[in-house]
Amino acid sequence: MKIGLTILLLINFISIINAQENKGIITLYQNVTLEYASEKFIPENHKIETCKSEFGYKFICKIDGKIWFGGDIGMENPRNQLTKLVLKINSITVDLDISNMFNPSYDGGLSKKHFLFKKEGEFYKLYSFFSDGAGTYTVHWKILGNSSVREVISGNERFFYWQNERE
């Protein structure tokens, strides 16, 4: 009986560790929240394309036909992918473009430290930083009402200037 119960608890623990989804709500300011979800990356569910570097080595260059962010040039698949990012400002809900965004963090979880939200004239701007320890990238969204556009998605250091503006 004890062995059966131990096995059952072990199976349950392993399924929690290998959870398919990581989700949460981050409060950026009073009446401003971000709801996010990330899922384990399952290579079989995606079309993965490789390219050759100028030095002749292969690397994953496209996932589902698009250049992807969240990894260094290499053959390692992403561990997780962002599947939902919804900004709520008072009663306004804005779905943010998260296409091609992988490995937002090592375990797929996010926190307030990943973001800067600010008002710029008539618009709001949301700046973000994603990294799993490698493949670091930043994303900037411009928001007006319940609409948004992803203005920047880049690993180029010149787009990380916003981090110096954080409190």
What does the pLDDT look like over 102-160, one tens digit per residue? 999 999 999 999 999 999 999 999 999 999 888 899 999 999 999 999 999 999 999 99
C-alpha angle with apex 109: 103 to 114, nearest 5 degrees? Answer: 80
In a domain, residue 12? The reply is no
Domain count, the chain: 1
φ/ψ of residue 55, rounded to 5: -95, 0
Q: Is residue 88 part of a domain?
A: yes
* pLDDT tens digits, one per residue of 22-50: 999 999 999 999 999 999 999 999 999 99
Domain boundaries, position 102: 22-165
Indicate whether 7 belongs to any domain.
Answer: no
